[in-house]
Amino acid sequence: MKAVPASTDSVEDSVGAVGPFIRGHLLSGLAGDSPLLYAFDHHFSTRGKRTRSRLSLHCSAALGLPDGDAIGLAACVEALHNASLIQDDLQDGSEFRRGRAAVWKRFGADDAICLTNSLLSTAFACLADLSDSAAMPALIRCLQSAVVETADGQARDLKAGTSRPDPDRSLASAAEKSGPLFALALELPLIAAGQQIHCAAARAAAVDFGCGYQIIDDLKDLEADRESGSGSNVVLALEERLEGTAPARAEAVRLAAALLESAGRHAFRLPHGSGALLVDLASALQAQLQAFDG
């Protein structure tokens, strides 16, 4: 399945503007010697794949949104995503993020909590200067819903870590933890462009993509999670149900392939090719599954 991507050479340039945009809004309420500024610069000094930023920017470009609006929407999603990473590292006890000390490990738990809260509020501030203020109520409701769902998914995931593995619960947790932020990258541009009617399809695409993405991560982390006794790894949970590693891996591959295929179908139907990048990302992940098949 192929979708026609937005023909915009400026998208990659816009990706580089997202981090400074977030920093500018965060700095607006901080003194120059704020410990949060040091923690922010430490966390953002190493860049992830910025998948959600790219999804949002490609979607905005396909829908014809102004560049300033596109960057603001992408910054909103990226600020929220990074808030979730900082909180996850603290709650999971993960000492490293992108090859460097996690914020809580480098600056302490208190600064990590405060930076998480600051990034959450900054996500809302990133929407403040959009050109169409009439869309603001729907955008804020969408953002707030994503925050709550992501937090609920994290809470369920933490409880799963101390419970007997269960594949259905693990997939539900993955849908709540990963789905809302992938969905937000598509939903915010759709709302800003007056295409809110397509948000349900965007959400369906993102939830399936997020679950497929998580299963692939679980396949990669299988032995490490087995050693740590993780209760949220889908493959480990399937091992108990299917009584064996080989059938569990095969079922995980089948589930991930089906979810990613569904994600691509939903994204392909979004207007003006606005889901094209998600279609491509789902296809790329499907190709990765060949490494685990058999």
**259-282 confidence digits (pLDDT tens):** 999 999 999 999 999 999 999 999
Say what the pLDDT of residue 163 is: 62
Rounded to a whole number of angstroms, the CA Rg of the chain reads 19
Task: Please state the rounded mean pLDDT for residues 93-98.
Answer: 92
What's the gap between Cα 36 and its chain centre?
23
Higher model confidence: residue 49 or residue 280?
Answer: 280
pLDDT at 252 exceeding the cut of 90:
yes
**Contacts for 38 with CB less than 8 Å, ≥ 6 apart:** 107
Mean pLDDT of 214-234: 85
Give residue 7's pLDDT. Answer: 45
Q: Over range 148-156, report the average pLDDT.
A: 87
Among 77, 234, 110, 106, which residue's Cα sits nearest to residue 160?
234
Measured CA to CA in angstroms, residue 8 lies from 57, 67, 73, 75, 81 at distances of 10, 11, 17, 18, 24
Q: How confident is the model at residue 233 (pLDDT cuts 50, 70, 90)?
A: confident
* 6 confidence band (pLDDT: 50, 70, 90): very low
Phi and psi at residue 261, to the nearest 5°: -65, -45
Other beta carbons less than 10 A from residue 156's beta carbon: 19
pLDDT higher than threshold 60 for residue 113: yes
Span 28-55, average pLDDT: 89
How much is the pLDDT for 161? 61
Query: pTM for this structure?
Result: 0.91
C-alpha span between 8 and 20 (Å, rounded): 21
Predicted confidence band of residue 48 (pLDDT cuts 50, 70, 90): confident
Q: What is 10-131's CATH number, 3.40.50.200, 1.10.600.10, 2.40.430.10, 1.10.357.10?
A: 1.10.600.10
Confidence (pLDDT) at 1: 44
Ordered by start, the domain boundaries in the chain are 10-131, 166-294
Checking if the pLDDT of 231 tops 90, the result is: no
- 259 token code pair: 């979810």
Mean pLDDT score of the chain: 90
Between CA 149 and CA 119 the distance in angstroms is 17
Select the more confidently predicted residue: 236 or 261: 261
Statement: residue 148 has pLDDT above 70: yes
Taking only the tens place, the pLDDT of each residue in 155-189 is 877 876 656 667 787 778 777 778 899 999 999 99
- Report, as an integer, the average pLDDT of 33-40: 92
